Structure 1
Amino acid sequence: MYVQKPFGCPKEEHSIPASAELENNSNQKKYTVNRGRPSKSVVISRPLCILMGIGALLLAILVGLVVFFLVPRGCSAGEETPSALTKAVDTVLGGLRKSEDDVDERLPRSIRPTHYRIRIVPYLNTSSTSGWVSMVLKAEEDTSEIIFHARNISIDKHSVTVRKNSSQIKINAQDYAEGDKYKIRLDETLSKGDECEVSMGYTGVLDRHLKGFYKGKYISARNNESYFASTQFSPTDARKAFPCFDEPYFKAKFTISLARPFNMTTLSNMPLGKVEAYEHDKSWYWDDYPETPDMPTYLVAFMVSDLQSTQSTDHRIKMWARNDLIHFTAYAGDLAPKILRYFEEYFGTSFPLPKIDIVAVPEFGFSAMENWGLITFRENVLLIDPATSTNSDKREAAVVLGHEIAHQWFGNLVSPKWWNDLWLKEGFATYLEYFGVDSANPDWKIAEEFLLTETHRAMGVDALESARAISFEVKNSKQIRQAFDDISYAKGACIIRMMNNFLGEAVFKTGLINFLHKYQYGVADREDLFTSLTEEAHKNGILPPNVTVGGIMETWTERPGFPVVHSIADYENNKLLLSQKRFFLSGKQEKSSWWIPISFTAKKTLDENADFSETKPKYWMRGEHQIEEDADLRNISWYLLNVNHTGYFIVNYDEKNWRALSDNIMNLPPLTRAQLISDSMDLASASLISYDIPLRMIARMATQDKMIMIIPTLATLNKLDFLNNMLYNTPAFGLFEEFHSKIFKQTYNIVTQFEGLVDVYITNRIRRVVLEWSCRSSISKCAHEARHRFRERMIHNTVIHPEVRSTVYCTAIREGGDIEWKWAYRRYLDTPSISEKNIILDALGCTKEKWLLSRYLDSLTAGSSIRVQDADKVFSSVAANPDGMPIAFDFLRKNWNALLNRYGDGFSIVAKMIRSLATHMNTEFQLSEFQRFKDSVKQNISTTASAFDAAIEQVRANVNWMNRNYEEVESWLQQHRDYFDFV
């Protein structure tokens, strides 16, 4: 049986001796080394022997130091080395060790599957599987080799058969190969167009890393332990469940049979077909599922569990959860059909499968997974308790539902040819989720939040020098997993929104529909999409015949970063001088050459309002570094580019226009206020403008906004959070606290009402974030009230409204001691509410007691009630605490191997831990320690390399910010402390 075993830690007998093996002789004055027969003994004098012993000891110490500094720490006796170390990093070819990054897992295109027949038996008691698979293959060119993927499964070589036209083909050789591959060499050549059938039996493992076909457990309301088996194949883990061509390019049909005990049920992509007796045990059954449409392996899904179901308002949709939680699926069960019907109408195509099962999986790595016909969720994302869930919980459930249902077309019906175009499905699902949610909950006006949630998220990582292009070459699982990041999701959504804007909704939508119809049940790449959009744009005269969508968009997909457009107005000659450079938070200067669509509006002194409805581009920068354009600048108060921030870039104006925009901030629409505050804060951070501009703008808006508009307020507080983190350990922090408490005094007074809460989405959204800021000061009324409410909860079990519970818990635990912390931890263990569990996990990291923070982190390596899926939440809650960040950093360094071993390389759990550390680091010492940490684990960095690069660069940018901007900000806060009202 072929099993990749972990190396583990070296045992004593294989280590270098700490001293020579000495043996006392009979006269006790001489010593012998490696004593053989008496006649051949080597006799050494005592002084020489002592010197040799000292030399050996020094040698051992030297070797120990080398091992200490070159081998990542955290590997103790009996502890397994992470599985990452047992992979291709140890492949030796031609006498040279091959790096994990160099391993190419892509399969040749000489042969492709057209159909799989899979029969699989999960043994929950032994955490193993046995299976049989038959693959119908078609030769795309002449070949005598069949190569497919298999990882951590043992193929029975004696069971492998290859048949062509009912005749068996002799196999010359077969074995595992580099890159998760299994290679079969045939005795004869398959000609182009030939079909053959490959069959084999195999055994596998149900591991606990939540990848592949894995085993999970949960504790029922009656405190009983229940086990289940479920799948998570995206992006490259179907190969852990059955031998397959595990790439999106190789779409095929699947016919699946699952064995199960009599008291459990199964689910798969298609509706259940027939049930048959299991031949080896009368208490087991085979569940047979009919053939699927053509689909990639990463979308195949099945599970065996005792979960229960309930019907949604659409006969095609069923909701599944644990028996004691099934009633919490009602919210999603009502929402999902509305979103499904919206996308069916939007795309002009009915959902192509007979059903959708939506499952709350008790242990699950991602927030959700779009498996065709079987969408799987984390419980805390899908389940909504009317008594304890917040509007934010409902928002997350709705947004993720919108995302996964959009995938049923973008990703499932049409799949990307290869993972270098991951954004083609994830960017579209992220963009389209806003349409789906808006159709179901129009009162939320969720589309207005795109700037806050997607644009800011994308630009936050895209402004770093380590940023990658949206489309980039990947060739193995490690690189593919790292592509599931904010660039693929958020930046992908941003550039799609920009395409929609410059093409127009009608042309864009028709182009998408044409694309889906042309490539349905197949695969496509970005050029295929751009061609469909270009054809529609040319038909409607939106683009000139010599301009293509691909020509415009390749500058956005094939290079990292985004531009800052510098605009200088020549008022005498009615000209705008526009130039572009790549924007870096570090302040680095680099010319760029994007195709940039630039919209324009202006406020004439005699006009009542400017026009913010026209967002189509007035100017285009066609890759030029600088252009000069005509503009009507006569008698204007101010002008604005990139209306409603539809373009994925920021704008830097001349100082005259910045001052005019700042003076008129309250006369601008809320979205424009948010855009200007966001752009100016980023520009000031990069030292491209003075901090006087954004800080005055913020102060003026905060003091004059009587309505507390949600979008600009959230944008402002998000940007001020960066200053809060940078100044926290400096003399200027007191000034900063005084600044925000004064300018937001009215806001805090209005919002800091613990009574009178209403179930209004927008009201509660703004209330939550403002309360978090209001309660930051230990002496504030908000903090005092929060502690009182928490004590009442502890002593009298009073109810805290869900919308303020997170603020109350965090504030009380921060200001309290071990009594509050221990009560909250016990509450985490006891509460049946999934929402409250999540709130408590975040709140436990708020304490200032360092020993409690250390205890909390220890739960990530020791056996505890913290689930694998929640590990990054626990770590990030501590790292987000300025007092906890150094403790979190030390914990990660000391327990690196143990964390990788426990959480594996999936779902970016450890990568998220790394990224969360950068927030409060801003000294040269912290930067050097972070870099030293990365160097110390470079032999076992797994899939965290890009996370290290981004975090280190963020720390470097923070250090540079302190060097460039700290004195300016401190001086500004000092000079303006007496008149923060800015009337």
Structure 2
Amino acid sequence: MGYLGFSILLLGLVHLSHQINYRLPNGSIPHHYKLSFIPHLIPDNFTFDGESEIFLRVHKTTRNLTLHSLNLEIHEESTMIVGDEEIIIPHRHIFEKEREFFILNLRNDLLPGDYKLLLKFSGILNNASRGFFWDSYLNDDNETTYLVATQFETTHARQAFPCWDEPALKATFEISIKHFPNYTALSNMPVDKKLIGTESDGKLWTKFKTTPLMSTYLVCFTVSDFQNITNLEGNFSLWARKNVLNSMKFAYDVALKAFPVLEDYTNIPYILPKMDIIAIPGHDNGAMENWGLIVAKESDISRQAMFDESFLRIQKYMVHEVSHQWFGNLISVAWWNDIWLTEGLASYFHFYLGAKVNNFPRMTDLFIINKNKVFEKDDDPLSLPPFREVNSAIETRQLLNTVHDKASTIMKMLSGLLSEEVFQSGIKKLLKKYKFRSITTDNFWETMQETLNESSENNFKIKKMLEPYISQQGFPLINVIRNYTSGVIKLTQECLMCKKNNLPESKWWIPINFATTSSPDFSSTLATHWMNPEDEFVIEGVDPNDWIIINIKSSAYYRVNYDEENWKKIGHYLNSENFSNIDILNRAQILQDGFWLFKQEKLDKELLIYLTSYLTREVDYIPWSTGDDIIQHLVENTDITEDSKIFILAIVGNLVDDAGLEESPNDDLFTVWKRFIGIYWSCYVSKRFCSHLRW
């Protein structure tokens, strides 16, 4: 199918889903679920049985009680609704496949009041890592060992038990699981008691304590024969099959360290009495932040070497999921279109707090590399904004899979505009205000605005200025044109992706701050001016002999293109002994923007090479991460001449000298990465140092 055809099909499906209302009627709300499950781990017949007592309140007189259910067989003869003085047997059980609704149709009116819904049901344990699923591994005797686990985000709880499966419809949960005694059952809460079953199947019941108010998608339970690493108190454990447990020690340590860091940042202690992390061999969802029971893909939290590629991945997953215990669990989104909030905060913190957990402050510099990836995604006309209307189950999953990086980039931008201190105060206020409740995007903007108004920082209208960045396609390109006679500097904005693809022109409020040769102050990311969406912006008073660099520390989400003369001034300064006066993040930004503009045919190759040549002086990984991409692009798209080889060797030589050829126990992450870049290109163009490559 051609690009145009696919686009039309996608838009058609979105339009169709918006014609159907997938939201539950608001006439009834559950407040407590009492759930029992019996999984049957029998090859070729993976099934489960379940029972539920759902305590609910009916707010409006109705003859239909509507909740969610998907791929469950309801034992209709057991269904009943119990009121204060009556037992009601439903007239019909209706299943709406498209909306995944389970409707109990009644003969008479169900009046407002409190009721208990009794259900029995059964279902299939799938092997697709969603809903209630099974997995397996080979033990030491080469025998297949089975386990079960759950993955409910976004709309898969309804595949395990009938429920009001929307994030704002929070309730408490009381869970029991039946299993063989040589297996361990885990859930969100600690074990309350274990009971021997009355049947002769040799199984026992594990009953868990009641959860706090939480969304259905955060409910979790597992049954496995895994072993664990645990702390002295026994309230923090990581579970895995025994042969890989040692490789999980780093993940365990990172997660354990993350909790006091989050408690200190938020000034709110972790609410639940325990935390378990379980590593599932065949899980295909990365990791999931279920409250009190994080489920992770085994290979994503396993580490074999001191500084292999797993270091950043593991700390990302662990800090991200631990952050969700506050942002996503303690407070949850009202509907899935707001998921950018909790995913954005958790993704922001896996850099910001990850730096504290790992005692590596410069980890926050990786934001600029992350932002460059977001730019690349936003250059795609099919890339949709992270804050948008979603309706159907499939739309919620599509949104969840794409919001993290862009949402965290905007959180980082907001933090820079408010200051880290004001941002933290706003987060504390948000958690305190909405604890155990659901929030909307407007709730977030309002709370952050209140915090900014109470501070002495430069005030601005947060929702007005920031919401366009999460609700529109594309990103701003700021064009900087200087009159070197009058000293006037004119700024305009455009959405280049919009123009190239004949899409409506997105417009933004642009926070402006800048440094110059005469005033190379890169300390503050607060906006000194705002450029409105419709008008050009003028800067005056800059010495015509100076360079100007817009967007201090590359904190805001836009690219910058200067006129040729200003680019040359920047290149000349970078190629001088004073290059380090330009902030490290702006040095990276200059290369990132220059490289992107070159690929858009808006910057000459010679000028890009001139900017890149400053890398002969640069020994920091952050600019070099883009320098590496530039070399790779030139190698792949041009003939490699002797001059090219000399150029590459010249710019990587100092990098190799600084990082050294041999690994050291004192190496930090950036040293490891820049050593690889230097050795790789030395080997590639001259066969030097090839024996020192570590893949």
- TM-score of the superposed pair, with normalisation by structure 1: 0.65
Give 3-state SS (helix, strand or coil) of 1:483's partner.
helix
Structure 1 residue 222 displacement after superposition: 4.1
The equivalent position to 1:461 in structure 2, one of 377, 400, 406, is 377
Mapping 1:422-437, distance limit 5 Å: 422-437=339-354
The equivalent position to 2:533 in structure 1, one of 623, 632, 637, is 623
The equivalent position to 1:704 in structure 2, one of 617, 620, 623, is 617
Q: 1:111, 1:138 within 8 Å by CA — same for their partners in 2?
A: yes
2:654 & 2:530 partners in 1: Cα distance? 41
Distance 1:352 1:410, change over 3 A: same
Distance 1:259 1:102, change over 3 A: farther
Q: Which has the higher helix share?
A: 1
Structure 1 residue 239 displacement after superposition: 1.1
User: Does 2:184 match 1:184?
Assistant: no
The residue type equivalent to 1:184 in the other structure is L
Give 3-state SS (helix, strand or coil) of 1:266's partner.
strand
Distance 1:323 1:539, change over 3 A: same
Structure 1 residue 471 displacement after superposition: 0.9
1:674 & 1:530 partners in 2: Cα distance? 30
The corresponding residue for 1:665 is: 574
2:294 & 2:34 partners in 1: Cα distance? 22
Q: Which has the higher strand share?
A: 2
The corresponding residue for 1:656 is: 565
1:450 & 1:736 partners in 2: Cα distance? 34
Give 3-state SS (helix, strand or coil) of 1:107's partner.
coil
The equivalent position to 1:409 in structure 2, one of 317, 320, 326, is 326
Q: 1:601, 1:639 within 8 Å by CA — same for their partners in 2?
A: yes
Give 3-state SS (helix, strand or coil) of 1:209's partner.
coil
The residue type equivalent to 1:558 in the other structure is S
Mapping 1:773-784, distance limit 5 Å: 773-774=681-682, 780-781=687-688
The residue type equivalent to 1:685 in the other structure is K
Q: 2:484, 2:544 within 8 Å by CA — same for their partners in 1?
A: no
The residue type equivalent to 2:482 in the other structure is A
The corresponding residue for 1:518 is: 433
Structure 1 residue 489 displacement after superposition: 0.7
The residue type equivalent to 1:780 in the other structure is K
The equivalent position to 1:553 in structure 2, one of 419, 441, 466, is 466
Q: Which has the larger radius of gyration?
A: 1
The corresponding residue for 2:555 is: 646
The equivalent position to 1:597 in structure 2, one of 486, 489, 511, is 511
2:620 & 2:289 partners in 1: Cα distance? 35
User: Does 2:442 match 1:527?
Assistant: yes
Residues 492-551 of structure 1: per-residue CA shift (max 9 Å, x gap): 11111111111222222212211111111111111000001111222225465xx53212
2:216 & 2:629 partners in 1: Cα distance? 40
Q: 2:498, 2:506 within 8 Å by CA — same for their partners in 1?
A: no
The corresponding residue for 2:478 is: 565
The corresponding residue for 1:146 is: 65
Structure 1 residue 257 displacement after superposition: 0.2
Higher mean C-alpha deviation, range 528-537 or range 275-284: 275-284
Give 3-state SS (helix, strand or coil) of 2:409's partner.
helix
User: Does 2:592 match 1:681?
Assistant: no
Structure 1 residue 286 displacement after superposition: 0.4
Structure 1 residue 623 displacement after superposition: 2.3
Structure 1 residue 673 displacement after superposition: 1.4
2:454 & 2:27 partners in 1: Cα distance? 38
Distance 1:293 1:737, change over 3 A: farther
Mapping 1:45-194, distance limit 5 Å: 104-125=21-42, 126-177=45-96, 178-192=98-112, 194=113
Structure 1 residue 769 displacement after superposition: 4.1
Give 3-state SS (helix, strand or coil) of 1:200's partner.
strand
The corresponding residue for 2:216 is: 297
Q: 1:571, 1:633 within 8 Å by CA — same for their partners in 2?
A: no
| Percent sequence identity over aligned pairs | 26
The corresponding residue for 2:171 is: 252
The residue type equivalent to 1:657 in the other structure is N
1:751 & 1:156 partners in 2: Cα distance? 70
Distance 1:330 1:282, change over 3 A: same
Q: 1:415, 1:524 within 8 Å by CA — same for their partners in 2?
A: yes
Q: 1:677, 1:697 within 8 Å by CA — same for their partners in 2?
A: yes
Give 3-state SS (helix, strand or coil) of 2:425's partner.
helix
Q: 2:79, 2:120 within 8 Å by CA — same for their partners in 1?
A: yes
Q: 2:60, 2:111 within 8 Å by CA — same for their partners in 1?
A: yes
* Structure number with higher relative contact order (C-alpha < 8 Å, ≥ 6 residues apart): 1
Q: Which runs of 5+ in 1 are unaligned?
A: 1-67, 70-88, 91-97, 787-803, 808-983
User: Does 2:653 match 1:746?
Assistant: yes
Distance 1:267 1:772, change over 3 A: farther
Distance 1:623 1:569, change over 3 A: same
- TM-score of the superposed pair, with normalisation by structure 2: 0.91
Backbone CA RMSD of aligned residues? 2.7
Distance 1:99 1:639, change over 3 A: closer
Structure 1 residue 618 displacement after superposition: 1.4
2:233 & 2:371 partners in 1: Cα distance? 34
The corresponding residue for 2:414 is: 499
1:99 & 1:588 partners in 2: Cα distance? 24
How many residue pairs align between the two structures? Answer: 675
1:207 & 1:395 partners in 2: Cα distance? 31
2:477 & 2:17 partners in 1: Cα distance? 37
Distance 1:554 1:687, change over 3 A: same
Structure 1 residue 646 displacement after superposition: 0.4
Distance 1:776 1:110, change over 3 A: farther
The equivalent position to 2:244 in structure 1, one of 310, 325, 334, is 325
Q: 2:498, 2:505 within 8 Å by CA — same for their partners in 1?
A: no
Q: 1:615, 1:646 within 8 Å by CA — same for their partners in 2?
A: yes
The residue type equivalent to 1:515 in the other structure is L
